[in-house]
Structure 1
Amino acid sequence: MSSAAAARVRLVEIGKRYSGTTALDNVSVVVAGGTVHGLVGANGAGKSTLGKIIGGVIRPDDGQLFVDDRQVRYTSPREARIDGIATISQELSPMPHMSVIESVYFGIEPRRFGLVQWRQMRRQYEKLISLWGFELDGNAKVGMLRTADKQKTEILRAVAADARVIVMDEPTSSLTSVETKTLHRMIRTLREGGRTIVYVSHFLDEVLELADTVTVLRSGHLVRTAPVAEETEESLVAGMFGAAAAAEHFEKPRNLTTPVVLDVSGLHRKGVLRDISLQIRSGEIVGLAGLVGSGRSELARAISGADPIDGGTIAVDGTARAIRSPADAMAAGMAFVPESRKDDGLFLELSVAANTTFADLRSVASRLGILRLALERAKTSSLLKLLSVEPPVPSMKTANLSGGNQQKLMFARWMLRGPRVLILDEPTRGVDVAARAAIHRLINNLAAEGSAVLLISSEIEEVLGLAHRVLVMRRGSITREFGADPPLDAVMEAAFGLGGRTIE
């Protein structure tokens, strides 16, 4: 690693607006060189926007940005990267058709006489992953990687560029606990080497553990910047929301006798899923626990028609259905909220209204198939208000919503249809405490109205808190079943394969 001088970043009276909505208002922050500076706030508070301004991803409407007391006006991430600033976005954006090695060294490839030196680049890559402890096939296509490996690709890309400032927006949201520890070790090493890290996260314990200084934002305004030593999780939450958010408890029905809504039998896909069978009753939330790579997301995608299967049956309300595509799943009464809202969930360039109604256009179209815009806006507005999506503007571009509000928007879409089966893959990934609580209430309410819910989450506490039953997956199979509120250590032992295969 080179010894580039630590860069100091100063933001002065920064303002940013989207469609009349203020994302940032008169925000001034100083990021000291060679430190880890945390940015925290509720979804929509402006923390990601501030990080993107530093990285040249977006341009502010007001204010000034200084790097080492030199005013800069980046018009693109490339300009910022040339200046030594790299950004790891919450919404991953590596080039899908490139290999991992090509993506990591894109724009900084070793060349001779204008030709890329592939052998040298591969040696550099092997040295890089050996140094940082990530296991990642350099020849794999980025577009085929799971979300966690895309995250690692972006992290390695920033490190390979030898950036003086690295903006990390929710960098651990899709990493395992082991990978998170590796990243934390990387961050500490980078700081010791003089790098400046801007760390945007909704995991307050991580911010308190890693950061030297933390800035709290609320509704686009600066609350305070303070040394981490002066903060606690409670003080940060109070700053973010004005008062500490109380944890909610949901009553869980025992021994449900309601009809079986989803019945999966003998589902398999070569090399991915092995003889999966499960049932979910009306009003039941079944949690799917397991390590990253255990097959949880693959099972969700297979049931919902996003990925093909080699055999097995899927029945909804007692009727066997041929689920060969998402359209087949929708026709059977299924709804799927995928792991990546950017890649699989939303049309970010379209309006909020278009994203809300596209799964049920018949409800807002005339008999001749003509879209009734006034009705679309009215239905969308009603759902946005019901789910507390901010701002509740149907015409707003979806990309301009915060991550938590985008996540709520995917629920709004399916609420138009009243799904019989709701499949949720990481429904609270990358959202803050308040948005998480709102989504949890929504999941519980949909189950209470009769939906059968399959819940996947890497956060085992979330699964245990919501699920009426818990299934554990390992290596493409369901290996354990628990009732409501099982011991955390028992579930984790099952996820790691301790104690053999038993169904309780």
Structure 2
Amino acid sequence: MDPIRGISVTGTGKRYAGIPVLSDISLKIAEGEIHGILGENGAGKSTLLKIIGGAVMADSGTLRLNGMPIKISSPRDSIAHGISLISQELSLIPNRTVLENVFLGRWANTAGLVKGRRDREHFTALIRETGFELDPDMVVSRLSIGQAQQVEILKALARGATILCMDEPTAVLNEMEKANLLRVIRRLSAAGTTIILVSHYLEEVLDICDRVTILRDGHHISTADASGHTPESLVSLMVGREVDFLMPDIPPVRPGAVTVLEARGICSNSVQDISIVVRRGEILGLAGLVGSGRSETLLALFGADKVSAGSVAINGQRVQPNSIRDAIKAGIALVPESRKDQGLVMSRSVVENIALATLGIRSAAGFVRGVAENRAVADISIAVDLRGVRAGSPIAALSGGNQQKALFAKWLLAPPEVLLVDEPTRGVDVAAKSRIHSMIIELAAKGTAVVVVSSELEEVIGLSHRVNVMRRGRIVAEFDRNASRDDVMASAFLK
């Protein structure tokens, strides 16, 4: 790594509505370096990445590339300087092919004629460089999330990117896809590509990064070699205090606890013959590979996926299938996999989002009692540790961790009989993850039956009294709380 060549920010600052998000950030990243940016949700790390990638303009500061000042005011400017931002939300055209997406707007042509053979040759060279296995003629909508992310990387490289800014690139990948992406990142770095990586997976960061930078409340706290850190030391710098890495204790299910959720023979387009029973105060984990039917099972129970056979009962009372309204009336709540696409109304305020599911409780003659609503939202915001957030602010302005807490708060205003939780801590920092785990356990301790889906095996095992393993739309194994990671993985892959 050449310390002179590379990218640097000096005195960078950014405010939103007068509130500082970044304050006087100065940082140098050498050419070919894999550099991790760490911090709690709201620390400013994604904003810094977006400034470098041209998605956000800084209010102050200087950006330099190979020692020369550059001005970036748009993604187009960044691309012109060889910088590409790969966000959590991928920017692909789903009804177009892999090849078309990779060369979108940059097809080889002469006198207005597109040269398909030249693009295919370039595509083959990129595949050879990265080691990806992608069919250029496959429609993007048919790809897995991991494959779609590979298309984003190829698109960046096709544009001549020498600096990749990656925001939570492994958050939605399974174990095999994560391993493959990390291998490609190392390969690109060895060839001279600079990687700037934002991630909440500390072990992953320590394993792959050369150096790490810690941000806290928009301030630069530390930059140091990754080899000198442990996960515990990183967390201490991120939050300014010690955080317990261990999963909180789960109180046992009371003897004789009654059945709250009983699903029998549930079938849909994605799952077959799913039968689960969850007692009052019990947490059932659903494990399995991406595409195994875990999320689809929760959607079917919530009435959001069409059920062709089977039944669902809450406290012995049958619930009308395929009706979200009836599921909610019966006391079923869902914290979905995608808070932005399925759980929150991003154009609305924090208070509107939190109050949405329980408007009827605070309404009379069709009018919402505003004072009661604001008081209820304020109380639940404190309970879920929704810090530094104005109730009238748009939910889109919140950090990922605070958005996730708001999504939980939405259902906790009136504690449900059954809470279905899909990827409860995806894209949140260590401190927020600890709080969300505690919320789930506290809710179960008060009598709610909980079903948890997570791609993190340690999370689903550590949170659950029992774990059901799914494969190809069916439940193939069940384990108690003492299950080992190897046993669960073996069932997910082999049975």
Deviation at 1:415, TM superposition (A): 0.9
TM alignment of 1:95-494, pairs within 5 A: 95-118=93-116, 121=119, 124-125=122-123, 128-129=126-127, 132-136=130-134, 142=140, 147-246=145-244, 247-254=246-253, 256-270=255-269, 272-365=270-363, 367-494=364-491
Deviation at 1:65, TM superposition (A): 2.0
Contact map agreement 1:132 1:182 (CA 8 A) in 2: no
Larger mean CA deviation between 248-257 and 445-454 belongs to: 248-257
Contact map agreement 2:268 2:305 (CA 8 A) in 1: no
Root-mean-square deviation over aligned CA pairs: 2.4
| Counterpart secondary structure, 2:274 | strand
Q: Cα distance 1:70–1:402, how it changes in 2: closer, same or farther (>3 A)?
A: same
2:80 is matched with which residue?
Answer: 82
| Counterpart secondary structure, 1:102 | helix
Taking the aligned partners of 2:80 and 2:369, their CA distance within structure 1 comes to 48
Q: Cα distance 1:22–1:493, how it changes in 2: closer, same or farther (>3 A)?
A: same
Deviation at 1:153, TM superposition (A): 3.4
Contact map agreement 1:238 1:244 (CA 8 A) in 2: yes
Long gaps (5+) in structure 2: none
Contact map agreement 1:346 1:410 (CA 8 A) in 2: yes
Contact map agreement 1:133 1:182 (CA 8 A) in 2: no
Taking the aligned partners of 1:332 and 1:146, their CA distance within structure 2 comes to 34
Taking the aligned partners of 1:318 and 1:261, their CA distance within structure 2 comes to 7
2:61 is matched with which residue?
Answer: 63
Contact map agreement 1:21 1:391 (CA 8 A) in 2: no
Larger mean CA deviation between 387-396 and 45-54 belongs to: 387-396
| Counterpart secondary structure, 1:279 | strand
Larger mean CA deviation between 135-144 and 318-327 belongs to: 135-144
Overall identity of the aligned pairs, in % = 44
Contact map agreement 2:5 2:67 (CA 8 A) in 1: no
Deviation at 1:168, TM superposition (A): 0.6
Larger mean CA deviation between 121-130 and 274-283 belongs to: 121-130
| Counterpart secondary structure, 1:496 | helix
Larger mean CA deviation between 282-291 and 345-354 belongs to: 345-354
Deviation at 1:363, TM superposition (A): 3.3
Contact map agreement 2:423 2:455 (CA 8 A) in 1: yes
Taking the aligned partners of 1:336 and 1:7, their CA distance within structure 2 comes to 49
Deviation at 1:144, TM superposition (A): 6.3
Taking the aligned partners of 1:124 and 1:316, their CA distance within structure 2 comes to 57
Taking the aligned partners of 1:81 and 1:183, their CA distance within structure 2 comes to 22
Larger mean CA deviation between 121-130 and 395-404 belongs to: 121-130
C-alpha distance after superposition, 1:339-375 (max 9, x if no partner) = 122222222222111211122222344x232344444
Taking the aligned partners of 2:418 and 2:75, their CA distance within structure 1 comes to 41
| Counterpart secondary structure, 2:272 | strand
Deviation at 1:184, TM superposition (A): 1.3
Taking the aligned partners of 2:414 and 2:140, their CA distance within structure 1 comes to 34
| Counterpart secondary structure, 1:324 | coil
TM-score, normalising length from structure 2?
A: 0.92
Contact map agreement 2:82 2:160 (CA 8 A) in 1: yes
* One-letter code aligned to 1:392: V
| Counterpart secondary structure, 2:38 | strand
C-alpha distance after superposition, 1:257-282 (max 9, x if no partner) = 22211111111124x21211111111
Deviation at 1:97, TM superposition (A): 4.5
Taking the aligned partners of 1:257 and 1:407, their CA distance within structure 2 comes to 33
Taking the aligned partners of 1:375 and 1:138, their CA distance within structure 2 comes to 56
Taking the aligned partners of 1:122 and 1:302, their CA distance within structure 2 comes to 42
Q: Cα distance 1:488–1:381, how it changes in 2: closer, same or farther (>3 A)?
A: same
C-alpha distance after superposition, 1:41-70 (max 9, x if no partner) = 111111111111110111122222222333
Contact map agreement 2:64 2:70 (CA 8 A) in 1: yes
C-alpha distance after superposition, 1:391-414 (max 9, x if no partner) = 231111212211111111110111
Deviation at 1:155, TM superposition (A): 3.0
Taking the aligned partners of 1:421 and 1:100, their CA distance within structure 2 comes to 41
Taking the aligned partners of 2:47 and 2:183, their CA distance within structure 1 comes to 26
Taking the aligned partners of 2:113 and 2:354, their CA distance within structure 1 comes to 48
Q: Cα distance 1:7–1:55, how it changes in 2: closer, same or farther (>3 A)?
A: farther
1:3 is matched with which residue?
Answer: none
C-alpha distance after superposition, 1:63-97 (max 9, x if no partner) = 22222333333332233223211111123443444
Taking the aligned partners of 1:459 and 1:304, their CA distance within structure 2 comes to 23
Residues 1:36 and 2:34 are matched in the alignment: yes
Contact map agreement 1:288 1:454 (CA 8 A) in 2: yes
Larger mean CA deviation between 22-31 and 280-289 belongs to: 22-31
* One-letter code aligned to 1:44: G
Taking the aligned partners of 2:151 and 2:441, their CA distance within structure 1 comes to 36
Contact map agreement 1:90 1:430 (CA 8 A) in 2: no
Taking the aligned partners of 2:242 and 2:209, their CA distance within structure 1 comes to 21
Taking the aligned partners of 1:370 and 1:138, their CA distance within structure 2 comes to 55
Taking the aligned partners of 1:82 and 1:372, their CA distance within structure 2 comes to 53
* One-letter code aligned to 1:181: A
Taking the aligned partners of 1:309 and 1:126, their CA distance within structure 2 comes to 43
TM-score, normalising length from structure 1?
A: 0.91
| Counterpart secondary structure, 1:273 | coil
* Corresponding residue to 1:54 among 40, 45, 52: 52
Deviation at 1:211, TM superposition (A): 1.4
Taking the aligned partners of 2:446 and 2:9, their CA distance within structure 1 comes to 48
